[in-house]
Amino acid sequence: MEGAFMAEPSERSSAVRSFPVAAVTVVLALTLGLLGGLVWYVLDSYRYFKTTHHCFLQVRELTGRIVHLDEILTMSARMAATTGDLRWEERYRHHEPQLDAAIKEMYVLGEQFALQAKTAKTDKANANLVAMESRAFDLVRRGQLKDAASVLSGAEYEKQKELYRLGIEETTAAINERLRRDYESQNQKVRIAVVSVVVAAPLLVFSWVVVIRLARRYNAERRKIEKEREQGVERLRKALGATIRAIAHLVETRDPCTAGHQKRVSDLARSIATEMGLESGRIEGLRIAGMIHNLGKIVVPAEILSKPTKLTDIEFSLIRNHVQAGYDILKDTEFPWPVARMVFEHHERADGSGYPEKISGREVLMESKILTVADVVEAMASHRPYRPGLGLAAALDEIAKNKGGLYEPDVVDACLKLFSEKGYRMAY
């Protein structure tokens, strides 16, 4: 049996490797970092390509619109100069704001790419062209068609047209070039992201495999230690049970007339406590206390314990001393439950008429009150050297009659219910 006490689970458990928190944290952080970076790249690329595509379409549409409107304006001015019909000026004036708006749009777009210098060139050439075309319309209104035509076909007009065209082309080309460079840069980022994922993914998978294996090993070791601990506790429990039985046997060898009394009291007390819904740990403590509650009788002379005639006062006081003797023997034993106190209090009564302290109510442990009722029922129902057994009915009648007086009402109710409804019987 000593071997059972030599197993020390708590000492062994210190040798268990700890959970690989650091490894899990690092791998988790790397995984989240990679996934986060990937998501960011995807979103950023999507946003970029969407913006770039929109910008590219906008430049193409804007360029086409400007060229088209410019052709309308030039043609309107020249037709007015050729035919003298001022309705062409109306057409001109109708489209001119549209061209201004389109050039302004181009200017705003150019600002995004820091191309104000190039768009300003177009803007300036356009202003010059508009001024020359307005002068041509003035000449048409005065009937000087030839002069108007010469303004619109002169070298200065052509020069401004060329500047205007160059401004548009340069701006468009610069924007497209900037878009192309940005596109390349973005492509480079995507390539880096893809390479990073391709390189990092197998490493991460490998890391996760290692971490999972570490975690599994940790769990297996924990389970093993837990099992050893449970086995150790079970061995200790059995050893304690055997020790308690040995003590009970020792008491009953001195008082053979009450053989089995403590076991039956223990069993009844446990059943009452279970019926009352006491927590399992308390019930176990009560069971142990019941098994040895008359331990103190080993100090009472055997002839008094088995005396078949009426006891004298001195003999009674010697017997009554067994609760103090039992307490003294057990008080330094470190049970997880107040076993010594239960032994000390098992002859107290709920109304304070018991012994040795004549305490009552909350001063007495509920376990002690249960032990009291179980002790009374078993003792009355069984034979004693000085009297025959009074029977179970008389015993139950005694506790029912004194419920709320000598005995705790809840305990009495639970005990009566056990016998009357649950079919409980004491084992003789």
Where does this chain bind Fe ion (CB under 5 A)?
294
Can you tell me the distance from the alpha carbon of 59 to that of 184, in angstroms, rounded to the nearest whole number? 19
Nearer to Fe ion, 59 or 248 (CB): 248
Give min distance, CB of 267 to Fe ion, in A.
16
Nearer to Fe ion, 63 or 294 (CB): 294
Nearer to Fe ion, 78 or 347 (CB): 347
Nearer to Fe ion, 126 or 294 (CB): 294
Can you tell me the distance from the alpha carbon of 210 to that of 202, in angstroms, rounded to the nearest whole number? 12
Tell me which residue has its CB nearest to Fe ion: 294
For the record, the structure tokens of 128 come out as 């010059």
Give min distance, CB of 225 to Fe ion, in A.
43
Bridge partners of 387, per DSSP, are 384
**DSSP assigned state of 311:** P
For the record, the structure tokens of 229 come out as 């601990």
Bridge partners of 403, per DSSP, are 407
- Extended strands (E) in 168-310: none
Can you tell me the distance from the alpha carbon of 266 to that of 247, in angstroms, rounded to the nearest whole number? 14
Write b or e for each residue in 171-189: b if 16 or more Cβ atoms lie within 10 A of its Cβ, otherwise e: bbebbeebbeeeeeebeee
Give min distance, CB of 272 to Fe ion, in A.
17
Give min distance, CB of 261 to Fe ion, in A.
9
Q: What angle do CA 250, 252, 255 make, to 5 degrees?
A: 125
Dihedral in degrees, nearest 10, Cα atoms 66, 71, 72, 76: 140
Can you tell me the distance from the alpha carbon of 411 to that of 155, in angstroms, rounded to the nearest whole number? 123
Angle in degrees, 0-180, between the axes of helices 280-291 and 155-254, rounded to the nearest 10: 20
Give min distance, CB of 320 to Fe ion, in A.
9
Nearer to Fe ion, 160 or 294 (CB): 294
Give min distance, CB of 292 to Fe ion, in A.
11
Nearer to Fe ion, 171 or 294 (CB): 294
Give min distance, CB of 233 to Fe ion, in A.
31
Give min distance, CB of 343 to Fe ion, in A.
8
Nearer to Fe ion, 20 or 285 (CB): 285
The one-letter amino acid at 284: E
Q: Is the peptide bond before 356 cis (omega within 30 degrees of 0)?
A: yes
Can you tell me the distance from the alpha carbon of 341 to that of 386, in angstroms, rounded to the nearest whole number? 29
**DSSP assigned state of 114:** T
Nearer to Fe ion, 109 or 289 (CB): 289
